[in-house]
Amino acid sequence: MQITIQAEQQKNKETASLQGTSNSIKDDVEKNGDSQQRTIASPAARKMAREKGLNLNLVSTNDPLGRIRIQDVSSYQPEKTSNHSTAKIEKMNQQVNNSEAASKPIIREHMSRRRQIIAKRLVEVQQTAAMLTTFNEVDMTAILELRKRRKDKFFEEHDVRLGFMSFFTKAAVAALKKYPYINAEIQGDELLIKKFYDIGIAVAAEEGLVVPVVKEADRKSFAEIELDILHLAEKAKMNKLALSDLQGGTFTITNGGVFGSLLSTPILNGPQVGILGMHKIQLRPVAIDKERMENRSMMYVALSYDHRIVDGKEAVSFLSKIKELLEDPETLLLEG
């Protein structure tokens, strides 16, 4: 009889222990929400996790019930677990994104070979060059007046319109002659300073941006530059540019103004170390002197350069020279 009572007492203790464990787990679930969303852990494990500043959701366990024990927290290795967890989270995010995308209309297009090359080169430039941009603004009033007076006669004589690109090309050549390091490139541990002036002109083609080159721009007249740009732009639109049309540029000019851009930061066209950005011409109030204000046709210009070769003083001086030449076209004719 005594043995029977002892057996029943032992059985009751085991039952109470199991019920206590079950209730503890239940409490954890009730406190933390859905058991699939929050981790179940013993009080001792939670205390140690708080002391160590650990997230219990990142701690793995071998417990059959999925309950995290104190030994699981003490043996937790943040670096390995974190990497595993990050990969798991990325995978879950990808699955969520794919699930959302599947329920919405999308078009998946293969990147053209040209677009892949453009993307690769742009990333390479930003990763290898110490690129920096400086800005200035140019009063375009004098050039606009000159074009207005000369455009008809210019077209009659040369069968091409007098645009802005020839002015900027001539100004760039004159400034490059004065600041030769902007017309250079890095080759290993040497600087290659070029004494020729092949100016790349960025052109928007259907498959992406291309930069055909106006060869020997320093030896060409305004009309020859305009004709070269016109022919290169037509070839770009018809996808007929030859490799020779794209090679050998020493400096690049890009004109976002044709699309309405007011200000931008152009990306270098490697291995070149300088690119000049043109922008939209806009009427803005300008102080002529202490007493007078006038609405003037102004353009912001930007020079992105490789700081490994070009110092800030040289870059700012270069852009100031561009401004000086464009605001006085007669000087541009002499120096360009």
- Please tell me the distance from the alpha carbon of residue 137 to that of residue 312, in angstroms, as a whole number: 17
Least confident of 55-69, 134-148, 183-197, 301-315: 55-69
Question: Is the predicted pLDDT of residue 296 greater than 80, yes or no?
Answer: yes
- Please tell me the distance from the alpha carbon of residue 284 to that of residue 302, in angstroms, as a whole number: 18
Question: Is the predicted pLDDT of residue 140 greater than 50, yes or no?
Answer: yes
- pLDDT at residue 258, as a whole number: 86
- Please tell me the distance from the alpha carbon of residue 43 to that of residue 68, in angstroms, as a whole number: 10
CA-to-CA dists, residue 43 to 10, 56, 187, 195, angstroms = 26, 12, 64, 77
- CB-CB contact of 230 with 160 (8 Å): yes
- pLDDT at residue 293, as a whole number: 92
Phi/psi for 196 (5° steps) reads: -130, 160
Tell which CATH architecture fits domain 114-335: 2-Layer Sandwich (3.30)
> pLDDT: is 335 or 145 the higher one?
145
Peptide bond preceding 266 in cis form (omega within 30 of 0): no
- pLDDT at residue 254, as a whole number: 93
Structure tokens at 334: 């002499």
195-252: pLDDT as tens digits: 999 999 998 877 778 899 999 999 999 999 999 999 998 888 888 888 888 888 999 9
Query: What average pLDDT is seen over the chain?
Result: 82
For residue 87, name the pLDDT band (cuts at 50, 70, 90): low
Least confident of 24-38, 66-80, 166-180, 256-270: 24-38
Determine how β-strand 199-201 pairs with β-strand 203-205: unpaired
Give the predicted TM-score (pTM) of the model: 0.67
* Average pLDDT of span 53-58: 80
- CB-CB contact of 275 with 252 (8 Å): yes
Element (H, E) at 115: helix 113-128
- Please tell me the distance from the alpha carbon of residue 147 to that of residue 154, in angstroms, as a whole number: 9
- CB-CB contact of 297 with 261 (8 Å): no
Q: Kindly tell me the sign of the dihedral angle through the C-alpha atoms of 9, 13, 18, 22.
A: positive
**Residue 278 bridge partners (DSSP):** 255
Residue 218, CB-side half-sphere exposure with 13 Å CA sphere: 16
311 is catalytic: yes
Which residues belong to CATH 4.10.320.10 in the chain? 2-102
Q: Which entry of 218, 306, 307, 328 is annotated as an active-site residue?
A: 307
Question: Is the predicted pLDDT of residue 16 greater than 90, yes or no?
Answer: no
For residue 182, name the pLDDT band (cuts at 50, 70, 90): very high
- CB-CB contact of 45 with 70 (8 Å): yes
- pLDDT at residue 8, as a whole number: 52
- CB-CB contact of 198 with 215 (8 Å): yes
Question: Is the predicted pLDDT of residue 267 greater than 70, yes or no?
Answer: yes
312-335: pLDDT as tens digits: 999 999 999 999 999 998 887 665
Question: Is the predicted pLDDT of residue 24 greater than 60, yes or no?
Answer: no
- Please tell me the distance from the alpha carbon of residue 321 to that of residue 336, in angstroms, as a whole number: 12
* Average pLDDT of span 31-40: 52
Q: Which entry of 110, 228, 311, 328 is annotated as an active-site residue?
A: 311
CA dihedral 161, 228, 210, 134 (to 10 degrees): -70
Which residues belong to CATH 3.30.559.10 in the chain? 114-335
- Please tell me the distance from the alpha carbon of residue 325 to that of residue 318, in angstroms, as a whole number: 11
CATH fold group of domain 2-102: Dihydrolipoamide Transferase (4.10.320)
- CB-CB contact of 118 with 208 (8 Å): yes
